[in-house]
Amino acid sequence: MLTVLGIVAAAVATVAIGIYGVRLARTTSDFLVASRTVSARWNATAISGEYLSAASFLGVAGLVAKYGADALWYPIGFTAGYLALLLFVAAPLRRSGAYTVPDFAEFRLGSPRLRKLAMLVVAMVCILYLIPQFQGAGLTLNILLGVPSWIGGVAVGVIVIANVVGGGMRSITFVQAFQYWLKLTAVAIPAVALTFYFFGDHHDVGASMPPTVTTATTVDITTDVVVQVSEPVTVSGGTVDGRAVEGTMTLGRGSTLSVKACPWSSTREPLSLSSPERPRRTLTGSPRVGVSVGRTRCTRCTR
């Protein structure tokens, strides 16, 4: 319920701020460039709000999760792109007095055909940029509210179109500035909480927690796996400390269990694990292995 209220409140605030800008848009200059009266601070806040988009919240987070810290070069590239846009597009556009890039192309080169070509390029860039934004909106609402993904994209599209058509650049600037502080708060609160958690408990920032098996679990083993247990368990099959297990043996604390991956067509003996307090359960299949070892905790898993 709180999630729904939060989303509705953010949407209502966005529309209300957009409506506020409507009454200030009276001329073409008001609509397209806010009569060039927006301060540098407002513009910086609005650009930052645009930067903290679905690409930052979802895309960059996913890239870092998949490829590691090296993926942080992507947002650095985004920022460098803003600087290039400021130097090579925004500044000449402002000096020429043109409102849009196609206007500037025709003004500078005197070619109506080039104006049309520039219009197509700008439209294509906008489409390629908007697709992941709408996809991110749909994915977010699908996860938070359980609604179909297309509803999120449509809802965001309707709100954006209403703000743009109604109030032009001034409305969009106010909305993006508001959303910058909203998004910054959404990032800052978890960041502060995680900082206190990691440093307060003396955890290494970014260190993965050891996996815990508490119920029957199926694991697909596609590469050789080495598991070190922190509680004694009984094992049948596999390799313990480099020695093949014959029959049944008990893994002492700190011992390692190696499970070899095999093709789907091959067969192997069933593998079973059990903790002293729990009855033995069988791990069957290769490379699909069902894992159930009571509350045995893996303190180190490598592939």
Domain ranges across the chain: 2-200, 217-302
What's the rounded mean pLDDT across residues 50-69?
A: 80
Report the pLDDT value the prediction gives residue 2, as an integer from 0 to 100: 79
Helix (H, G, I), strand (E, B) or coil at 141: helix
Element (H, E) at 290: strand 288-291
Q: Residue 114 — φ and ψ, nearest 5°?
A: -65, -30
pLDDT band at 110 (very low <50, low <70, confident <90, very high): confident
pTM for the full predicted model: 0.56
Which pLDDT tens digit goes with each residue over 176-202? Answer: 888 888 888 888 898 888 888 777 755
Per-residue DSSP letter, 208: P
Report the pLDDT value the prediction gives residue 266, as an integer from 0 to 100: 41
pLDDT band at 279 (very low <50, low <70, confident <90, very high): very low
Report the pLDDT value the prediction gives residue 124, as an integer from 0 to 100: 93
- For the chain, the average pLDDT equals 72
- Distance, in Å, from the CA atom of 280 to the CA atom of 131, rounded to the nearest integer, reads 51
What's the rounded mean pLDDT across residues 128-138?
A: 84
Helix residue ranges, H only, 201-220: none
Only one residue has tokens 């003396």, namely 202
Report the pLDDT value the prediction gives residue 252, as an integer from 0 to 100: 65
Report the pLDDT value the prediction gives residue 37, as an integer from 0 to 100: 77
Q: Residue 249 — φ and ψ, nearest 5°?
A: -145, 160
CB burial of residue 95 (10 Å; 0-12, 13-18, 19+): exposed
Q: Which two tokens stand for residue 220?
A: 């697909």
What's the rounded mean pLDDT across residues 106-127?
A: 88
Q: Find, among 294, 297, 296, the residue nearest to 278 by Cα.
A: 294
What's the rounded mean pLDDT across residues 227-246?
A: 64
* Residues paired with residue 227 on neighbouring β-strands, in sequence order: 257, 301
pLDDT at position 94 over 90: no
* Cβ-contact 198, 205 below 8 angstroms: yes
- Distance, in Å, from the CA atom of 301 to the CA atom of 226, rounded to the nearest integer, reads 6
Point out the least confidently predicted range of 52-66, 230-244, 271-285.
271-285
pLDDT band at 287 (very low <50, low <70, confident <90, very high): very low
* Cβ-contact 139, 57 below 8 angstroms: no
pLDDT at position 79 over 60: yes
pLDDT at position 292 over 80: no
Element (H, E) at 76: helix 73-85
Helix (H, G, I), strand (E, B) or coil at 207: coil
Report the pLDDT value the prediction gives residue 284, as an integer from 0 to 100: 33
Report the pLDDT value the prediction gives residue 302, as an integer from 0 to 100: 36
Which pLDDT tens digit goes with each residue over 240-260? Answer: 666 676 666 666 666 666 655
**Which is higher by pLDDT, 1 or 235?**
1
